[in-house]
Chain A
Amino acid sequence: MIEDDALTLQRVRAGDDTAFALLVRRYEPKLRAYVVQMVGIEEEARDLVQEAFIRAWKHLDQYDPTYRFSTWLFRIAHNLAIDHLRRNRRPMVSLDLGEDEEGDAMQLDLPDPGRGPLATLANRELAAALAREIAHLPAAYRELVILRHFVGLAYNEIAELKRLPLGTVKNKLFRAHSVLREALGEYLGQVGGAT
């Protein structure tokens, strides 16, 4: 577990309720980015993330500190999002943690370069091309790219969340980046000065 989280959780358990705000501040943006990728609607993602924090708060005594707190939190949010999608009979996206074994179709929406994180890129053509190329990546690569760059997870957080060896995560992301670099060479030359 991340040492910072361990200390913060100790404070929470000792009765310092405000310490939980540190965890909310630390993980709310990443959780929301993650859930948005699953449910596709920002407002729904906000509500689901709030519910995830409430559940974590209520069941903090069930948290197993041999895992990262963030992994536990993401699993809670993941399960809430899956339940939400099932209730609303919407197709599920590809951010599967290996827990959904009911054979539901997994399909990631094409990242929209006009909305969300891609809209922050100054180069509109690059944003559109990046969205297109990420959507064309093999599912296993695409998922890791989303977790790493859209959700903002560290390599070791992704490894624990996906239950993959750290080396596998690094290798797959390196290959994914290489594929993207090859596909986007023209745009990246403009951005990075490559010839």
Chain B
Amino acid sequence: MSGTCREVQRSLEELGGALPPDVEAHLGACAACRAHAALLGQLEVLAPAPADEARVLEIMAALPPAPWARRRAWAWMPAAAAVALVAAGLGLVGALPAPSVMGSLPEAAGGLLGWMGSYALDALAAADSGSGAVQAVAAAGGVGLLAGMLVTLLGGGWAMLSLVRRGRSEQ
């Protein structure tokens, strides 16, 4: 095989499709290079066929919910908890907090937690006994108050934790 044949066969390997005129001319006169081109042509046929659309749909249907979409929803949870905190606070105090508190949900959470704590301590102090304390708390807000405290504790704690984590990551 001549150096020209090697070059032509190399170019056949990499070019594919339309060939330059000089390569075409060489193929017309060289059986070995023609055989090389024929081999590559036959091997081309072996490549996999394009995907079957039904198969693509089948695989897509088998995919679970996108994990990153779940993570995005999870990232909103502190904000949702803060909203729940404000709603609980509004329900408990029966009025809008001061604008400065509205402007800062974590501060509102802290304030509300403090208010809830002092309210409960006042009720306990006013009671003569354990059962009296329970009755006082029940009289002051009952189940709604306890539920509100729970929501406030969870939501406020979550919001605070998020703020602390964010502060650490920004350092």
Residues of A within 8 A of B (CB): 13, 15, 17-18, 20-21, 24-26, 28-30, 32-33, 46, 49-50, 53-54, 57-58, 60-61, 117-118, 120-121, 123, 126, 130, 145, 148-152, 170, 173-174, 177-178, 180-181, 184-185, 188-189, 191-195
Contacts and interface: CB of A to CB of B under 8 A. Distances in A.
Contact of B69 (A15, A28, A152): A15
B47 A152 contact: yes
Contacts of B13: 170, 173-174, 177
B64 to A, nearest CB: 7
The main secondary structure of chain B at its interface with chain A is: helix
Given A30-B48, A181-B32, A50 B62 contact: yes
Contact of A53 (B37, B63, B69): B63
Contact of B56 (A13, A25, A185, A193): A25
B66 interface: yes
Contacts of B35: 181, 184-185, 188-189, 192, 194
A54 B56 contact: no
Q: Closest 7 interchain pairs by CB?
A: A192-B38, A29-B48, A117-B46, A152-B47, A194-B31, A188-B35, A194-B35
A59 to B, nearest CB: 8
A165 to B, nearest CB: 16
A192 B46 contact: no
B63 A20 contact: yes
B59 A192 contact: no
B41 interface: yes
B16 to A, nearest CB: 11
B56 A32 contact: no
Given A174-B9, A193-B34, A180 B68 contact: no
